[in-house]
Amino acid sequence: MKFFLNLSYRHKIPLWGCFLIIISVIAVSASFIGNAYTHVEKDLSIDSEKLGYSLRSNLFTAILQDDIWRAFEIITEASQRESSSMVQVENILVLDNAQRVLVSTHPKETPIHTNMYDLGSEFSEISRHINQMSGDKSRTIYLPKSKHYYSLTPISRENASLGTLIIVHSKDVFFPLFAKNARNGLLVGTLILAILLPFNWYWGQRMAVPLVQLAARMAQLGKKWPEDLDPDLYEYHDELGLLFEAYNQLLDDLKSKEVLEMQILQSERLAALGQLAAGIAHEINNPLSGMLMAIDTLKCHSETSPLTQKTIALIERGLTQIKDTVAALLVEAKMKSRNLLPQDIEDVLTLISPMSGKKALHIAWHNSLTDEIALPATFIRQIMINLLMNAIKAAAQQGEISCDISVIDSKLQISVINDGKTLSAEQISHLFEPFASFSEGGHGLGLWVTYQIVNQLSGNISVKKENNNHMNFTVKIPLGEHP
Amino acid sequence: MNIIFRLILTCWLLLMSSALLATPLRLGITSATARGQYALLEEWRDYLQRKLDKPVEFIFRESYLESLDLLKQNELDFAWVSSPAYFENSRQMNLLVTPLYKGQPFDHSYLIVPSSDHVSQSLLDLKNKVFAYVDPDSSTGYLQPRYQLLQQHQNAERFFKKTFFTRDHQKIVAAVAIGMADAGAMSGFAWDSLARSRPDITNQTRIVTRSAPYGFPPLIARNSLSKRDFNDMQRVLIEMNQDPDGIKLLQRLNLDGFIVADSKLYQGVYKMMRRIGDL
């Protein structure tokens, strides 16, 4: 039992359904068959009694005239006529009122003038039944364990009785008749099974398979992200359907929570990196400025050998490179700048045109700015140039870039899309870290700088893969906070 | 011309109507003589009609008694009956012809038992048995065994446990074969005829005794019948064995022909009847 209860619903539902259907069909068929048995007994009784009534009148006349040959011919003809019908007549006897055989269709077995008691136990029993009979109604006697059944008809007219007609039938006809009826019952049962079982199986599968898949996915939760459920798996809105909806909702919530966590983690990481970089830059910047000033002073106020001059120049270039790098890391967006004009945007297009021209790119440019907006022009231009430069680098030869600038919900939105190679999720997660270059020749600070600027302007930058596999970089910066 | 034509038409119409309105000759047949051969009897009737040039009707009745009653009421002109039936009413009847069987105008009475009965050797061995008679007016199937019992000083009414009539000789064979009767008496002619067509049935019986010969059941005519019809019928029947169609019919009837009936042929039956007290 435990084994059965532990079975998967995939098997348990159809099995349980099958079990119930089979039990019901067996019960219905059994009642059919039981009914058939009673019917057969009843039908045979009626047929036999009908035969008795049909013979009674002629026999009455024949016996009245003591014409027993005529009586014999009447019963013999009836017996032969009925032998081909369903009621198989084995013997017909006519008894007188003293229960002696007057005539029978089988005189050798039941000779004339033999007493019923001398014809064996069954006839003795029948004799007892005849004694109990009254009126002119027929009776059918089924003796237990007997191979025959008997119908008794009084040979009477207007209350004058001349004897009794006994029709002996073989019970052999019983079984074929019963089997015929029973077969019909079984056939109907089988037909019902043939219709219901596949239907039950289908229905069981329909219920179980989604449940099983759901259970399997629930078990995976916490270990890895389960595969998506087939949306066509269960499309109804019953309790099962609600369960699926709840599962999908849960999964969506879990996923967005994880994405949020990742984003927080990333921005925290980037913020920490930013602080670290800014701190180091400041710490480096002070001695660096001193060193550069000292070298400047040395160059101007001392006589030095050519070798020294060469060395000083070498040091100066090195220090300048450090300064540049540090300056790049130390993004300072708090400096004053004028507001952004639509013309600034167009300038950017002019600036990048030579570069895009080299790769024969097509730039789809949508600038919907019409008025001045309260954002620092310098930084916005820098952001755009960085994004567009990256896009041009990433784009394929004769590829396509689209740039869309608009103000939506009091936010400046800049979208730059390129058709270059796509980035993996792993690459995207490290995209805004310094020196994380994914293209040849880049130092990997462009996006870092852009990220820092956007961050300092209280905006955000996101990267996503479009449906057509184009990479979309979108920057949103709220207006008015940086006059 | 017109007068001649009318005359011819009138004559023709008269002739036609006389033919159409001619009263048919009616011959009574009983179950005992019909022996179930109704198709054969129909052919015989057609033959007689052809030969007599007169319509003939066969009227079937169950027993000799019924045929005789019809004859007495002039409902029949002829009847094929048993000799006792004739003697009971001999004043109103005339003997017409007697059939010839095996060239003789005689029949015998057979006493038969089931073939399983190897014991019974005579009628006396059948005391307290069930016995089958043919017809109360039959010589071979009723009179003869009763006469025999009388000769043995037995009371025929109490000798057997039970008796019954089958009305038909050949049904005696059936009654004995299936065991309904322990024995039966019948016409030897009928048994032999059945043995020829259905030996499977007669083989189930055994002939215990054959009686002395008795006049074959005759065809009789009512007294009131015209001499001409009587003679015509007698002549046609007697001449049957000289005619190819007649011979074929006689063969199928298992008869050799007919001869003028003589009451002397039936003296034996007459004596038995007197002895028993039926006359």
Cα gap A187→B237, rounded to integer Å: 71
Residue with the larger pLDDT of the pair A436 and B14: A436
Cα gap A92→A74, rounded to integer Å: 10
User: Tell me, what's the pLDDT at A458?
Assistant: 85
User: Tell me, what's the pLDDT at B234?
Assistant: 94
Chain A residues touching B164 at Cβ < 8 A: 66-69
Amino acid at A460: N
My answer on whether B126 and B80 are in the same domain is: no
My answer on whether B140 and B175 are in the same domain is: yes
Cα gap A155→B139, rounded to integer Å: 35
Residue with the larger pLDDT of the pair A387 and A176: A387
Which residue's entry shows tokens 């003679």?
Answer: B231
* Phi and psi at residue B196, to the nearest 5°: -70, -40
* Structural domain contains residue B7: no
Inter-CA distances, B216 with A307, B31, B246, B263, Å = 181, 16, 19, 11
User: Tell me, what's the pLDDT at B277?
Assistant: 78
Inter-CA distances, A24 with A9, A30, A192, A200, A476, Å = 22, 10, 10, 14, 69
My answer on whether B159 and B195 are in the same domain is: yes
My answer on whether B89 and B114 are in the same domain is: no
Radius of gyration for the alpha carbons in chain B, expressed in angstroms and rounded: 21
Cα gap B250→B47, rounded to integer Å: 11
The partner residue sitting opposite A112, judged by closest CB among B130, B165, B167, is: B130
Which residue's entry shows tokens 């013979």?
Answer: A55
Q: How far is A141 from chain B (nearest CA, A)?
A: 26
My answer on whether B179 and B233 are in the same domain is: no
Cα gap B217→A176, rounded to integer Å: 54
Secondary structure of residue B215 in the 3-state scheme: strand
pLDDT above 50 (res A94): yes
Cα gap B279→A469, rounded to integer Å: 138
Q: How far is A66 from chain B (nearest CA, A)?
A: 8
- In DSSP notation, A247-294 reads HHHHHHHHHHHHHHHHHHHHHHHHHHHHHHHHHHHHHHHHHHHHHHHH
My answer on whether B223 and B88 are in the same domain is: yes
Please judge whether A107 and B179 are an interchain contact, meaning their C-beta atoms are less than 8 angstroms apart.
yes
Minimal CA–CA distance to A427: which of A419, A417, A418, A437? A437
How many residues would you count in chain A?
Answer: 483
Looking only at the bridges linking them, the beta strands covering A400-408 and A362-367 are parallel
Chain B residues touching A67 at Cβ < 8 A: 164-165
Domains and CATH numbers, chain A: 2-178 (3.30.450.20), 260-329 (no CATH), 339-478 (3.30.565.10)
Please judge whether B132 and A69 are an interchain contact, meaning their C-beta atoms are less than 8 angstroms apart.
yes
Cα gap B207→B115, rounded to integer Å: 9
Check CB contact of B100 with chain A, cutoff 8 Å: no
My answer on whether B220 and B96 are in the same domain is: yes
The partner residue sitting opposite B180, judged by closest CB among A66, A67, A112, is: A112
* Structural domain contains residue B277: no
Inter-CA distances, B272 with A471, B83, B139, B166, B276, Å = 142, 11, 9, 22, 6
My answer on whether B61 and B194 are in the same domain is: no
Range with lowest mean pLDDT among A30-39, A85-94, A228-237, B258-267: A228-237
* Structural domain contains residue B275: no
Cα gap B25→A482, rounded to integer Å: 150
Q: Which of A63, A64, A65, A68 to mutate to test the interface with B (most CBs of B within 10 A)?
A: A68
pLDDT above 60 (res A466): yes
Question: What average pLDDT does the segment A385-396 reach?
Answer: 86
Residue with the larger pLDDT of the pair B175 and A80: B175
Longest dimension (CA), chain B: 88
Give the pLDDT confidence of A190-199 residue by residue, as tens digits. Answer: 898 899 889 9
Return the structure tokens found at B274.
């007197």
* Structural domain contains residue B247: yes
Its domain, for residue B230, covers 17-101+216-265
Please judge whether A108 and B179 are an interchain contact, meaning their C-beta atoms are less than 8 angstroms apart.
yes
Q: Edge-to-edge, what's the strand order for the sheet holding A160-170?
A: A101-104, A89-96, A160-170, A148-157, A139-142
Please judge whether A108 and B178 are an interchain contact, meaning their C-beta atoms are less than 8 angstroms apart.
yes
Chain B nearest-CA residue for A112: B180
Give the pLDDT confidence of A243-265 residue by residue, as tens digits. Answer: 888 888 888 898 899 888 988 88
pLDDT in tens, chain B (279 residues): 567 767 676 666 665 555 555 789 999 998 777 777 888 999 999 999 999 999 999 999 888 888 889 999 999 999 998 888 888 888 888 999 999 999 999 999 999 999 999 999 999 999 999 999 999 889 999 999 999 999 999 998 899 999 999 988 989 999 999 999 999 999 999 999 899 889 999 999 999 999 999 999 999 999 999 999 999 999 999 999 999 999 999 998 889 999 999 888 999 899 999 888 776
My answer on whether B168 and B96 are in the same domain is: no
Check CB contact of B169 with chain A, cutoff 8 Å: no
Radius of gyration for the alpha carbons in chain A, expressed in angstroms and rounded: 54
User: Tell me, what's the pLDDT at A136?
Assistant: 81
* Structural domain contains residue B1: no
User: Tell me, what's the pLDDT at A483?
Assistant: 43
Cα gap A349→A385, rounded to integer Å: 9
CA A354 to chain centre: 57
* Structural domain contains residue B122: yes
Mean pLDDT of chain A: 85
pLDDT above 60 (res A481): no
CB B181 within 8 A of CB B130: yes
CB B170 within 8 A of CB B96: no
My answer on whether B194 and B246 are in the same domain is: no
Angle (deg, nearest 10), helices A239-301 and A446-456: 110
Cβ pairs bridging A and B (under 8 Å): 30
CA A94 to chain centre: 77
* Res. A342 pLDDT band, cuts 50 70 90: confident
Interface of B with A in 149-168 (CB under 8 A): 161-162, 164-167
Cα gap A363→A419, rounded to integer Å: 11
Contacts of residue B52, defined as CB under 8 A and 6 or more positions apart, other chains included, come to: B25, B232, B233, B236
My answer on whether B90 and B227 are in the same domain is: yes
The partner residue sitting opposite A69, judged by closest CB among B161, B166, B179, is: B166
Please judge whether B167 and A113 are an interchain contact, meaning their C-beta atoms are less than 8 angstroms apart.
no
Chain B residues touching A68 at Cβ < 8 A: 162, 164
Please judge whether A69 and B178 are an interchain contact, meaning their C-beta atoms are less than 8 angstroms apart.
no
User: Tell me, what's the pLDDT at B18?
Assistant: 52
CB burial of residue A479 (10 Å; 0-12, 13-18, 19+)? middle
CB B138 within 8 A of CB B32: yes
Chain B nearest-CA residue for A70: B166
Can you list the alpha helix ranges (DSSP code H) found in chain B?
A: 2-21, 31-34, 38-52, 64-72, 83-88, 144-151, 156-159, 169-177, 188-197, 199-202, 227-238, 244-252, 267-276
Range with lowest mean pLDDT among A57-61, A427-431, A454-458: A427-431
Please judge whether B132 and A67 are an interchain contact, meaning their C-beta atoms are less than 8 angstroms apart.
no
The partner residue sitting opposite A107, judged by closest CB among B161, B165, B178, is: B178
Highest mean pLDDT of the ranges A83-92, A230-239, A388-397, B125-134: B125-134
My answer on whether B228 and B207 are in the same domain is: no
Amino acid at A75: I
Domain count, chain B: 2
Return the structure tokens found at B250.
């006689």
How is residue A106 annotated by DSSP?
Answer: -
Question: How many Cα neighbours within 13 Å face the side chain of A409?
Answer: 4
CB burial of residue A23 (10 Å; 0-12, 13-18, 19+)? exposed
pLDDT above 50 (res A305): yes
* Res. A440 pLDDT band, cuts 50 70 90: low
Residue with the larger pLDDT of the pair A233 and B144: B144
User: Tell me, what's the pLDDT at A441?
Assistant: 60
Question: What average pLDDT does the segment A204-226 reach?
Answer: 83
Please name every residue paired with B207 in a beta bridge, in sequence order, or none if there are none. Answer: B112
Percentage of residues of chain A with pLDDT beyond 90: 12
CATH of the domain at B30: 3.40.190.10
Percentage of residues of chain A with pLDDT beyond 70: 96
